[in-house]
Structure 1
Amino acid sequence: MKKMLPVMMLSAMTALWSAPSMADDTGGIASLRGLDDLAQPRPADEMKKYPKDRAPLERDYLHQPPLIPHTIRGYEISLSANKCLSCHSWKNYKKYGATKISLTHFETRDGQTLSDVSPRRYFCNQCHAPQADARPLVDNKFQPVEALKPE
């Protein structure tokens, strides 16, 4: 026990001495914030501008989840409610002129078809995102799949 105390003290002093220098080292990793200091909070970005409700957006690759062509601000998507299903469910989609959810949203990972939306597909914004009118964060040279390009 007497030998352990000096070792523990030395370890603690080394950790305290090296912590400040390690905290300042970013390892050369660049940030999408540019040259802003990552340790300092910065003002929030301007709110994104979402277009009014419109026709579904074109897809760029096979099996791409459709983009949401309207804002979802204020939509509750939680364990107790899913606002998306009020328009996009098989029961209501015609009434609201919305796209109905795919049959795949009713399948379990084992391929069993359920009578209601599968829990793994219930939280829509895990895959689907609203399309905002915003500048790209990084340079993008992506080209859509040839088969999906408009003629």
Structure 2
Amino acid sequence: MKLPVKAGLAAFASTLLLSGLVLAQTNSHVQSLRGSDLDTTLPAPDLFQQQQGREVRNYRQQPPLIPHSMEQYQIDLRTNQCLSCHDWTNAGDRGAPTLSMTHYLDRDGTQLDTVAGTRWFCNQCHVPQADAPALVDNTFEPSASR
């Protein structure tokens, strides 16, 4: 084919494609995934508050849930604000539970005076407790109920 014929076919195809897209946009109603019109403002979901008091553990060796907010706590390679209350040197004065002695053992089982590096990031095992609905159905029963 010659160049003018190819250019004409390309122009015709692009015009046809563009008009098809315009037609598709005007004939279909766009619907959002949240089930309402796009310009509708929906209220924000409820925020779930922190529960007060300690939650009962569901199985042996379950890490305790944190009964307070950790929103402003700094935990990084140099700082762990949890230890300002829960380290064995401060827990008695602050009225906070002391860390388990396993938090002061290194990988070889050697007793340390400070928290082991493997236990430094508290929120890798411990999570704040919140009164929030379950995200999926759950039939879990605590081990003591069997």
What TM-score do you get using the length of structure 2 for normalisation? 0.65
* 5+ residue gaps, structure 1: 1-34, 37-43
Question: Is residue 2:49 matched to residue 1:49?
Answer: yes
C-alpha RMSD of matched pairs (Å): 2.0
Aligned-pair CA distance for 1:111:
1.2
Measured in 1, the distance between the counterparts of 2:73 and 2:98 equals 17
Residues 47-86 of structure 1: matches in 2 within 5 Å?
A: 47-52=47-52, 54=53, 56-86=54-84
Aligned-pair CA distance for 1:48:
3.2
8 Å CA contact 1:76, 1:83 repeated in 2: yes
Measured in 1, the distance between the counterparts of 2:129 and 2:66 equals 6
Post-superposition Cα deviations, 1:14-59, rounded to whole Å, max 9, x if no partner, equal xxxxxxxxxxxxxxxxxxxxx77xxxxxxx865432134x3x3211
Aligned-pair CA distance for 1:94:
1.4
8 Å CA contact 1:69, 1:130 repeated in 2: yes
Aligned to 2:12: none
What TM-score do you get using the length of structure 1 for normalisation? 0.63
> Amino acid of the residue matched to residue 103 of structure 1?
M
Task: Name which one, 1 or 2, has greater alpha-carbon Rg.
Answer: 2
Question: Is residue 2:86 matched to residue 1:88?
Answer: yes
8 Å CA contact 1:51, 1:71 repeated in 2: no
Give aligned pairs, total.
Answer: 105
Post-superposition Cα deviations, 1:96-118, rounded to whole Å, max 9, x if no partner, equal 11100000001112211111100
Measured in 1, the distance between the counterparts of 2:84 and 2:100 equals 15
> Amino acid of the residue matched to residue 50 of structure 1?
Q
After superposing on structure 2, the runs of 4+ consecutive aligned residues of structure 1 that deviate more than 4 Å are none
* 5+ residue gaps, structure 2: 1-32, 35-43
